[in-house]
Structure 1
Amino acid sequence: MMTPRPDAFTRDRQTVAFGPKFSRLADILARGADALELRADAAGLAPERLLVFEVRGSITAFANAVQNVSGLELVDEKELEGDEEDKQPFAYLLVPDMVALRNLLGLWQRWQTGRLIRGETPWANVFELLKDLRPWGPLDRVHASDATFLASLIDGLDDDELVRLEVELVYRAQDRIAEEQEANVRAAITARAGRIVSRARIADIGYHALLADIPAWAVREIVERRAEGVAGLEPIQHIRPQSASTSIELGDVAEDAAAALPQPELGEPILALLDGVPVAGHRLLSRHIDLDDPFDLEPSALVANRFHGTAMASLIVHGDRNGTGQPLPRRIHVMPVMGNHDEFPRDRLVVDLIYLAIVRLREQRPGVVIVNLSLGNRNRPFHGQLSPWARLLDRLSNRFGLLFIVSAGNAIADFGVPAYANGLAYESADGAHRAKSMINALHGLIGERRMFSPAETINGITVGASNSDAVKPADRALARALIDPFPSRGGRP
């Protein structure tokens, strides 16, 4: 069933509402070619070049209209085209040069006077259904999900308590302009009794960001997306919570007698593991790990808290130790990027951390061609745009000839299975019915269970999970407290 076209606004109403905004575009044109800083990199969008159109009804007509005008580009067009049911669809229109800006202004002026020519008539629908037109601003700099998370983060905090945030700046190719923009943001944060913890500027991916401590009262302004707050600063592209690692509880790596037997000489590493600090001295791992700790994370990581890095090193080297496979014939190069409790360092931007790690890896171990990154940012689920971390992996993959193997992320939030009234009913159910019910429940949560950055990398391989292992049936039968949601056929492991 087709969605009916919403009622159009009158031309007089639209002229009053948007005439002044198009007049501002005319003023920009009048200032000459230097009015806009022009760059080819779409990831580094200057606020003057990115216009936000809020339209009434379907975004599809808008997308079609944009395609008919030379020089204009609809950012994230594919994502928006399918957003038919969105009651507040937004379109981000990139205006790459003065010609495109002049074309857009000309369309508006011809529509006002009823003089649109053949091929331009779709723009009549655009202007008639336009609800708002604005430059990139606070609503765009703070994603709704981030605003919700930050609101919960500052709930109950005193106004002066500091909250650590990542502030991504609009990337400027010219060093002088970039320094001026960063200085402006630094001054604004300092004026609010905040402080800058770290910064990074990576030209390869057009990334410029600050890690900052900001008082709770100023974060509240960010949550409310006030124009007079930090979210209103033009040099800022995005404000997000600090990156946080994904982790799960893991069992210990068990000892066995085989570890004491004579072992063959191991080859040089061709695979690197960027993860938590491993228990590098473990009998099953010590001869297999080539450890490099450039960020000095090992001394502060208690052995009892080295779960993830140890487990991943064991999995790569030995595979499922319930099976009969042989260990890798080569060592693996391990570079910790998470410290105690498998958390990212609090004083570093994770994108900068990974960038420095990979550059060092190439210098120290040029023979490495595979990099395992079984970690992600739980505060950055995928929402249609590549994260800086994913862009970094894509760039470094191309630059250094590396294959990145990335985890899709661990979704650890509890959820219900509607087919069962309680846990006892779930445990008592037939295995096939339990598996089908679990799949149906997960299907209903697809929209919420998103990949975590950098799993959206294009050049890498993103790995999900498989509910399989080599546990023997007799051992599995003893684990009565653990209910397998997807039991294997015929009782096989």
Structure 2
Amino acid sequence: MAAQPAAQASMALRADPDGIAPERALVFEVAGSVGDFYSQVGRIQGLEFLLEDDADFEPNDDFHTLQTKQGEQVRGDKPVGGRLYMAMPDMRALREILSLWDRYRQGQDMPYGFAPWRTLFDMLSDLRAWGPQDRVLPETLAYWRERIADRPHDPVRFEVEMWFYERAERRAKAIANIEGQLAELGGRVVTSAVIEPIRYHGVLVDLPPQRVEELIDHPDVTLARLDDIMYLRPQSVAAIAEPEDDGEISEAGGAPAPAGDPIAALLDGVPLANHQRLAGRLILDDPDDFAARTPAAKRSHGTSMASLIVHGDLQAGEEPLDRPLYVRPVMLFDAASNAETTPPDRLPLDVVYLAVRRLLEGEGAEPASAPSVVVINLSLGDLNRPFAGRISPWARLMDWLSFRYRVLFLVSAGNVRSWLPIREFATTADWAAASPEAREAAIISALNSEKAARTLLSPAEGLNAIAVGAWHADEFAAAPDAFHLKDPFPNGGLPNVSSGVGLGFRQTVKPDLLFDGGRELVRASEDEGHVWLAVDGGGAYAGQMSAAPDAGATGRLDYQRRTVGTSNATALLTRSAARIYDSMVEAGYDIPRTHAAVLIKALLVHGAAWGDAGEKLDGAFGPAGRDWQRHRDNISRFLGYGRPNIDRVLDCAAERATLFTFGDIQQDTQDEFDIPLPPSIEGSTELRRLTMTLAWLTPVNARHQQYRSATLEMLPAGDKTYSLAVERLSGQPTHFAVNRGTLSHGIFEGESAVAFLDGGMLKLRVACRAQAGPLDDRVPFAVAISIETGVGSGIPIYDEVRDAVQPAVRATAGAAR
């Protein structure tokens, strides 16, 4: 092996793949701990990170984890491994490593100086050069087959995700190569987009169905062999089908007109802006003139979302928001699918990118259209890209935009409306005759079994955004029973059946929150020897009421209808965000535009808890045993941090004080906070609760395997039990899980009599460290702290904390509420 110097060139594992040619990419399929792999690869010079796939592999006799049962180590059933992509500095080094891999598989000894490679190879199930099997993904093959079956004579539209090149002329050459290949195959480029900050280059293409069939049969020919292509993917599309229910006539509202600048924006379908519930309450900005391509009778989703943000569930009779809502259409009506969809001839990523830039920065010489906005509602998801381990370009865009413009995205987790198998019941008669408790238990069991196929829709996996799932609740009082439908959770207190589940990228807690999304009823059928369930979209028997267009196209502007789903939940949470912001302004706090988003993020989560739902799922998923962390992560897939009680943040209580602060922090620094404790707690045996929430907006590095650039932690700066003798509750995400994203939320309780330490102060520190290369930016963060005792305890927590902290804290950030 005379080539040793090339394969062991003096180039350590780096975060930056600039200049790496894709033909030098290696695919490492890791069977075991990815963390152990990183540790070993760090000892080998010459590899450069490209990207990581969290794809798991089923354990087998060769690759598996070990677990201890009854004192003996046995093979575990956990999925193992992942897929990583790295590159060598030149082709000679790549060929040498593949040669080493061949020697390893044949059982031959490694040459002198290459012993570390044997240790690395022991962790792999495969090693190969990047090729067609990596470019053509299984979901792409399935999409092609389905698309050809539906429209066998039409060109097949799909996306090409390119390797990103820094130089514009190199990108132009790559596009020319694809255009030439497509022309030979009878296809064409529909559009393309480059978003440099997230290193994205995407192309939307058409290809004749017979040529696509050739790719299906032989996925190693034509386009799949072009080195400039990273992936061939299904076309990204967000689509909302027209509701089946026509709706009903609504009463006119009589609230005063809104005033002031908008702080919330809605990116959605075209709303019926002159509906009697919305007239004068929206700032509609439609530079693409999507309204001209969307008949008034088909403006359902945008109208509903705007109504829910402005008014809430109309059945609750709440007052509308005091501020106008900014609305930018990013969907239009597609008659072929009878749905509101993202434009079929554009890349959704580009549509959203340009919309947010116009909103917060401006276009050309035009100023920003709504620079006061700090919360953006995105009740959309890519139907063709359920989250499967690798962060999507759309999520990367949300993360970058969030940090760049200091804005909070509220993104729907997505609705998975595929049939759910209920194997505990053989017939629909058995299902109908069962008790509500038995049906509920069977549904929970089925959701747990099918969770891998019911994941979030991208971009809900984004780190800086709050992903919102749907809670099974609405304000429909005295709803009639439907003989053909069943309430899966008649006592409420659980997510909707269709609500997308986590976890998120790098096992982050996702969805972050659950919020009311309407009671989603189910209907049963039987096939294959058991019952299957489908969800109902709301209407006469359940759901949240919102403004609606006149489906009969008679021109009426006073219709309303009930719907359900994660879109509704996201809209209502956006409404709560606006209420929180205005409550702080009304209380006299000066919240700068630069920190409003991150403070709202912390306060939205601050009132969240699993509650009874956590206990129910804990019991349904079986005993945790030694693997308590995985067990708790599994509950987090469904509940996130729980359902927030927004009133706990908005309202005061004698026995509860909530404080907040915000600021910026730099790499390898920490901020410390001393919070005076209420004297009346000292020595008391009353149950006391401490809730702490830390939120931040991180820059991201798409060129690094860690991706998240800034890691923040909130830690005790004095007594480990915060001078309150409290311990972390078990019914919440683990302390490991909360450190993976950009939210850290924990609830602590205790009731032992204790003498205050640290001078009667609750001492905290927020520390920042870099995780994905150098961190040059200042990171905005916010902290919310609540101290409380039980209602009726008689301990004046609020007054004592307010008197002690208000003069000091109001001068810097926030104060007791």
TM bracket (short chain): 0.7 to 0.9
- Does the Cα contact within 8 Å between 2:285 and 2:328 map onto a contact in 1? yes
* Cross-structure match for 1:464: 469
Give the superposition deviation at 1:432: 2.2
Aligned amino acid, residue 359 of structure 1: R
**Alpha-carbon distance in 2 for matches of 1:410, 1:302:** 25
Deviations 1:445-491 (A, max 9, x none): 1010111111111110000110001111x3x135554421111279x
Which of 426, 440, 449 is the equivalent residue of 1:444?
Answer: 449
Deviations 1:98-155 (A, max 9, x none): 69959985994998664556xx645325447877543211111111122122122223
Corresponding position: 1:221 with 2:214:
yes
Aligned amino acid, residue 353 of structure 2: Y
**Alpha-carbon distance in 2 for matches of 1:131, 1:137:** 17
Alignment of 1:310-349 (within 5 A): 310-340=303-333, 341-349=339-347
After superposition, the Cα gap between the structure-2 partners of 1:415 and 1:43, relative to the gap in structure 1 and judged at 3 Å, is farther
Give the superposition deviation at 1:201: 0.8
**Alpha-carbon distance in 1 for matches of 2:51, 2:167:** 26
SS at structure 2 position matched to 1:287:
coil
Give the superposition deviation at 1:325: 1.8
Which of 358, 361, 365 is the equivalent residue of 1:360?
Answer: 358
Unpaired runs of 5+ residues, structure 1, are 1-18
**Alpha-carbon distance in 1 for matches of 2:188, 2:15:** 33
Report the aligned-residue RMSD. 3.8
Which of 140, 146, 162 is the equivalent residue of 1:152?
Answer: 146
- Does the Cα contact within 8 Å between 2:139 and 2:234 map onto a contact in 1? no
- Does the Cα contact within 8 Å between 2:28 and 2:126 map onto a contact in 1? yes
- Does the Cα contact within 8 Å between 2:144 and 2:156 map onto a contact in 1? no
Corresponding position: 1:92 with 2:84:
yes
Aligned amino acid, residue 318 of structure 1: H
- Does the Cα contact within 8 Å between 2:7 and 2:46 map onto a contact in 1? no
After superposition, the Cα gap between the structure-2 partners of 1:345 and 1:103, relative to the gap in structure 1 and judged at 3 Å, is closer
Q: Structure 1 residues 91-100 or 340-349, which shifts more?
A: 91-100
* Cross-structure match for 2:607: none
Give the superposition deviation at 1:58: 4.6
**Alpha-carbon distance in 2 for matches of 1:338, 1:379:** 16
**Alpha-carbon distance in 1 for matches of 2:430, 2:442:** 12
**Alpha-carbon distance in 1 for matches of 2:290, 2:21:** 37
SS at structure 2 position matched to 1:298:
helix
Q: Structure 1 residues 353-362 or 415-424, which shifts more?
A: 415-424
Deviations 1:268-297 (A, max 9, x none): 211110111112121111222111112221
Which of 116, 141, 144 is the equivalent residue of 2:135?
Answer: 141
Aligned amino acid, residue 40 of structure 2: A
Alignment of 1:45-194 (within 5 A): 46-53=21-28, 58=32, 65-70=40-45, 72=47, 79=54, 84-85=59-60, 91-95=83-87, 97=89, 105=97, 108=100, 114-115=110-111, 121=115, 123-127=117-121, 133-155=127-149, 161-194=154-187
Corresponding position: 1:198 with 2:196:
no
- Does the Cα contact within 8 Å between 1:339 and 1:345 map onto a contact in 2? yes
Give the superposition deviation at 1:67: 3.7
| Structure 1 or 2: more helix by fraction | 1
After superposition, the Cα gap between the structure-2 partners of 1:191 and 1:82, relative to the gap in structure 1 and judged at 3 Å, is closer
**Alpha-carbon distance in 2 for matches of 1:248, 1:43:** 42
Provide the identity percentage: 37
Q: Structure 1 residues 299-308 or 350-359, which shifts more?
A: 299-308
SS at structure 1 position matched to 2:179:
helix
* Cross-structure match for 1:419: 424
**Alpha-carbon distance in 2 for matches of 1:194, 1:489:** 52
| Structure 1 or 2: more strand by fraction | 2
SS at structure 2 position matched to 1:231:
helix
**Alpha-carbon distance in 2 for matches of 1:83, 1:482:** 37
Corresponding position: 1:483 with 2:486:
yes
Give the superposition deviation at 1:94: 1.4
Task: Report the TM-score when normalising by structure 1.
Answer: 0.82
Aligned amino acid, residue 465 of structure 2: G
Q: Structure 1 residues 318-327 or 479-488, which shifts more?
A: 479-488
**Alpha-carbon distance in 1 for matches of 2:95, 2:214:** 37
Give the superposition deviation at 1:71: 5.2
Deviations 1:184-229 (A, max 9, x none): 1111111111111111111011111111111112212332453331
- Does the Cα contact within 8 Å between 1:45 and 1:170 map onto a contact in 2? no
Aligned amino acid, residue 408 of structure 2: L
**Alpha-carbon distance in 1 for matches of 2:306, 2:17:** 38
SS at structure 2 position matched to 1:290:
strand
Aligned amino acid, residue 451 of structure 1: L
Corresponding position: 1:297 with 2:290:
yes
**Alpha-carbon distance in 2 for matches of 1:236, 1:99:** 18
Give the superposition deviation at 1:428: 3.5
Give the superposition deviation at 1:265: 3.9
**Alpha-carbon distance in 2 for matches of 1:147, 1:222:** 9
Give the superposition deviation at 1:358: 0.7
**Alpha-carbon distance in 2 for matches of 1:370, 1:129:** 44
After superposition, the Cα gap between the structure-2 partners of 1:100 and 1:323, relative to the gap in structure 1 and judged at 3 Å, is farther
**Alpha-carbon distance in 1 for matches of 2:18, 2:341:** 28
- Does the Cα contact within 8 Å between 2:135 and 2:232 map onto a contact in 1? yes
* Cross-structure match for 1:245: 238
**Alpha-carbon distance in 1 for matches of 2:395, 2:229:** 20
Alignment of 1:21-32 (within 5 A): none
- Does the Cα contact within 8 Å between 2:157 and 2:205 map onto a contact in 1? yes
Paired residues in the alignment total: 458
Give the superposition deviation at 1:92: 2.8
Deviations 1:321-371 (A, max 9, x none): 111321111111111111012111111011111111111111211011110
**Alpha-carbon distance in 1 for matches of 2:221, 2:260:** 59
SS at structure 2 position matched to 1:282:
coil
SS at structure 1 position matched to 2:314:
coil
SS at structure 1 position matched to 2:192:
strand
**Alpha-carbon distance in 1 for matches of 2:247, 2:383:** 26
Aligned amino acid, residue 23 of structure 2: E
SS at structure 2 position matched to 1:294:
coil
**Alpha-carbon distance in 2 for matches of 1:106, 1:448:** 35
Unpaired runs of 5+ residues, structure 2, are 65-79, 334-338, 361-367, 494-518, 520-817
After superposition, the Cα gap between the structure-2 partners of 1:92 and 1:116, relative to the gap in structure 1 and judged at 3 Å, is farther
SS at structure 1 position matched to 2:173:
helix
- Does the Cα contact within 8 Å between 1:255 and 1:283 map onto a contact in 2? no
SS at structure 2 position matched to 1:199:
strand
SS at structure 2 position matched to 1:212:
strand
Alignment of 1:364-375 (within 5 A): 364-375=369-380
Give the superposition deviation at 1:431: 2.0
* Cross-structure match for 1:11: none
Give the superposition deviation at 1:303: 2.2
- Does the Cα contact within 8 Å between 1:289 and 1:333 map onto a contact in 2? yes
Give the superposition deviation at 1:302: 1.9
- Does the Cα contact within 8 Å between 1:297 and 1:339 map onto a contact in 2? yes
Aligned amino acid, residue 275 of structure 2: H
**Alpha-carbon distance in 2 for matches of 1:228, 1:392:** 31
Q: Structure 1 residues 198-207 or 322-331, which shifts more?
A: 322-331
Which of 297, 301, 305 is the equivalent residue of 1:308?
Answer: 301
Give the superposition deviation at 1:72: 3.2
- Does the Cα contact within 8 Å between 2:194 and 2:201 map onto a contact in 1? yes
- Does the Cα contact within 8 Å between 1:64 and 1:122 map onto a contact in 2? no
Alignment of 1:399-414 (within 5 A): 399-414=404-419
Deviations 1:46-100 (A, max 9, x none): 4134202457x65767555324324536666683677645899774341364699
After superposition, the Cα gap between the structure-2 partners of 1:430 and 1:358, relative to the gap in structure 1 and judged at 3 Å, is same
- Does the Cα contact within 8 Å between 1:72 and 1:100 map onto a contact in 2? no
